[in-house]
């Protein structure tokens, strides 16, 4: 009963005031088995990663420390390949410094701090410790490679900020990728809509043998407003073969004569006569 009350308070504390870069949640209905996610500290070889941990609270808690294990592979002097963590607050005295006044919030904050400040004097991974002490560039390169391979390297610090308790990291990444794809599709659709009127105008100009269309040819006034008669702003309705009174060719576009008639009105001379020549005869 005492353990249940203690865990209820600590879980509430984790929800309302989690340590910076840390979130944790219970596994299912259990209050003694938790999953935690730790964001790699800034300005370290781990900053691009988000690391997952398993937390097991013993029955004698808080008189015994919780067991914390990295389930994400990490290259660190104080963390071995199986995920065990060598940290003084996770051990009882005299070897460790655990005391009942500590809690899960302080434990997870200490684990994250260990990523920023390894302790080579109390090593657990001998190879990582030797590289850390004797060949720091090699250690840094290996640690970053492990982050990229196992901890979602490249996602950046924002990955932990958007983490939701109980939601798998893979599902969060899938939602982010889906949102990015939807945004790209919307941008492509907008780009196609913006490019559509100039394409229609260019096609009409090529058929008429004219230069770039002026404001009146685009179906709007000089201020870019809609054409009179209810045309859509920025999109002048192209004359069709039925409007022009001409026949359609194989491409479904009205004949040149029909288009000239629709745009300039019925001329006095041949419909194939250029509009400028018609103006001179008038």
Residue in 57, 86, 146, 260 annotated catalytic: 86
Say how far apart CA 214 and CA 212 lie, in whole Å.
7
Q: Which pair of structure tokens corresponds to residue 208?
A: 């008429």
Could you give the count of Cα atoms lying within 13 Å of 232 in the half-sphere of its Cβ?
Answer: 7
Structure-token match 């983490």, residue found = 163
Q: Is 211 helix (H, G, I), strand (E, B) or coil?
A: coil
Q: Residue 193, class by beta-carbon neighbours within 10 Å (0-12 exposed, 13-18 middle, 19+ buried)?
A: exposed
Say how far apart CA 128 and CA 79 lie, in whole Å.
9
Closest C-alpha among 12, 105, 120 to residue 62: 105
Structure-token match 């004359």, residue found = 239
Say how far apart CA 171 and CA 192 lie, in whole Å.
32
Dihedrals phi, psi of 255, to nearest 5 degrees: -65, 160
Is-contact 264 275, C-beta < 8 A? Answer: yes
For residue 23, indicate whether it is catalytic.
no
Number of Cβ within 10 Å of residue 194's Cβ equals: 10
Q: Which residue numbers are catalytic?
A: 86
């Amino acid at each position: 009963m005492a353990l249940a009350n203690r865990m209820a308070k600590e879980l509430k504390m984790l929800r309302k005031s989690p340590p910076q870069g840390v979130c944790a949640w219970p596994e299912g209905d259990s209050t003694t088995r938790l999953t935690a996610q730790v964001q790699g500290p800034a300005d370290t070889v781990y900053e691009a990663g988000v690391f997952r941990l398993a937390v097991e609270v013993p029955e004698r808690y808080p008189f015994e420390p919780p067991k914390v294990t990295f389930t994400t592979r990490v290259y660190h002097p104080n963390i071995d390949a199986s995920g065990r963590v060598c940290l003084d607050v996770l051990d009882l005295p005299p070897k460790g410094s655990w005391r009942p006044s500590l809690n899960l919030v302080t434990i997870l904050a200490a684990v994250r701090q260990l990523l920023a400040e390894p302790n080579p004097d109390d090593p657990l991974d001998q190879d990582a410790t030797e590289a850390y002490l004797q060949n720091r560039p090699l250690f840094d390169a290996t640690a970053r490679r492990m982050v990229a391979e196992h901890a979602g390297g490249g996602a950046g610090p924002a990955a932990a900020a958007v983490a939701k308790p109980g939601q798998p990291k893979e599902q969060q990444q899938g939602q982010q990728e889906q949102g990015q794809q939807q945004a790209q599709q919307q941008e492509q659709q907008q780009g196609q809509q913006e490019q559509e009127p100039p394409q229609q105008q260019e096609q009409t100009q090529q058929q008429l043998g004219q230069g770039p269309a002026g404001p009146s040819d685009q179906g709007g006034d000089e201020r870019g407003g809609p054409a009179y008669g209810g045309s859509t702003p920025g999109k002048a309705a192209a004359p069709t073969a039925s409007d022009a009174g001409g026949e359609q060719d194989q491409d479904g576009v009205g004949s040149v004569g029909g288009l000239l008639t629709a745009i300039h009105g019925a001329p006095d001379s041949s419909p194939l006569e250029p509009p400028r020549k018609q103006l001179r005869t008038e």
